[in-house]
Structure 1
Amino acid sequence: MKLPASLLLAAVLAAPLLSTAQAPQAPQAAPAPSDAPAAAAPTQAAKPDLAQGEQRYTAVCASCHGPAGNSGAPANPKLAQQHPEYLIKQLQEFKSGKRPSPIMQGFAAQLTPQDMQNISYWLASQQLKPGFARDKQAVALGERIWRGGIADRNIAACAGCHSPNGAGIPSMYPRLAGQHADYTADQLIAFREGKRPNSPQMTQIAAKMNDREIRAVADYVAGLR
Structure 2
Amino acid sequence: MNRIRFATLFLKKSLTPRETAMKKWIGIFFVLISAAALVAQAPAGKDLGWAFPTAAMVVNKPPLHEQEEGQLTIEGSGKSYTMPQIEDLNAPPDWFSSEHAPAPRVVTDGRVNKGFACGSCHLMNGLGHPESGDIQGLTPEYFIQTMKDFKSGKRKDPIRMTAIAQATPEEDIGAAAEWFASLKTPATPWIKVIEQNTVPKTYLGQGRMRFIDPDDKATEPIGNRIIMLPMDVKRARLRDPHPGAGFNALVPVGSVAKGKALAQTGGNGKTVECAICHGEGLKGLGNVPRLANVHPIYLVRQLYNFQTGANSSADAALMKRVVAKLTDEDIVNLAAYAASLTR
TM-score above 0.5: yes
Q: 1:83 aligns with which of 118, 139, 145?
A: 139
Greater relative contact order (Cα < 8 A, sep 6+): 1
* Secondary structure class of the residue paired with 1:216: helix
Kindly indicate whether the alpha-carbon contact (under 8 Å) linking 1:197 and 1:203 is maintained by their aligned counterparts in 2: no
Aligned residue for 1:165?
A: 281
Q: Deviations over 1:138-178 (max 9, x none)?
A: 0001111221112243x11011110121111122x111111
- Residue 107 (1) aligns with residue 164 (2): yes
Aligned residue for 1:206?
A: 323
Kindly indicate whether the alpha-carbon contact (under 8 Å) linking 1:68 and 1:80 is maintained by their aligned counterparts in 2: yes
Q: 1:132 aligns with which of 170, 174, 192?
A: 192
Kindly indicate whether the alpha-carbon contact (under 8 Å) linking 1:53 and 1:115 is maintained by their aligned counterparts in 2: no
Q: Deviations over 1:29-86 (max 9, x none)?
A: xxxxxxxxxxxxxxxxxxxxx9675332122211111122121x21211111122211
Moved more, 212-221 or 196-205: 196-205
Larger of the two Rg values belongs to structure = 1
Structure 2 CA distance, aligned partners of 1:83 and 1:132?
24
Q: 1:62 aligns with which of 119, 126, 130?
A: 119
| CA 1:152–1:170: 2 relative to 1, 3 Å | closer
Unmatched 5+ stretches in structure 1: 1-49
CA RMSD of aligned residues (A): 1.9
* Secondary structure class of the residue paired with 2:156: coil
Question: 1:33-48 alignment to 2 at 5 Å?
Answer: none
| Greater per-residue strand proportion | 2
Unmatched 5+ stretches in structure 2: 1-99, 110-116, 196-252
Aligned residue for 1:19?
A: none
Kindly indicate whether the alpha-carbon contact (under 8 Å) linking 2:104 and 2:172 is maintained by their aligned counterparts in 1: no
Moved more, 57-66 or 124-133: 124-133
Aligned residue for 1:188?
A: 303
Aligned residue for 2:291?
A: 176
Number of residue pairs the alignment of both structures matches: 173
Per-residue deviation, 1:104: 0.9
| CA 1:211–1:186: 2 relative to 1, 3 Å | same
Structure 2 CA distance, aligned partners of 1:98 and 1:113?
17
Kindly indicate whether the alpha-carbon contact (under 8 Å) linking 1:83 and 1:175 is maintained by their aligned counterparts in 2: no
Identity between Structure 1 and Structure 2 (%):
31
| Greater per-residue helix proportion | 1
Structure 1 CA distance, aligned partners of 2:336 and 2:173?
30
Per-residue deviation, 1:212: 0.7
Kindly indicate whether the alpha-carbon contact (under 8 Å) linking 1:69 and 1:79 is maintained by their aligned counterparts in 2: yes
Aligned residue for 2:235?
A: none
Per-residue deviation, 1:133: 2.2
TM-score, normalising length from structure 2?
A: 0.48
- Residue 146 (1) aligns with residue 283 (2): no
Kindly indicate whether the alpha-carbon contact (under 8 Å) linking 2:300 and 2:335 is maintained by their aligned counterparts in 1: yes
Runs of 4+ in structure 1 deviating by more than 3 angstroms, as ranges, are 50-54
TM-score, normalising length from structure 1?
A: 0.71
Q: Which amino acid aligns with 1:98?
A: K
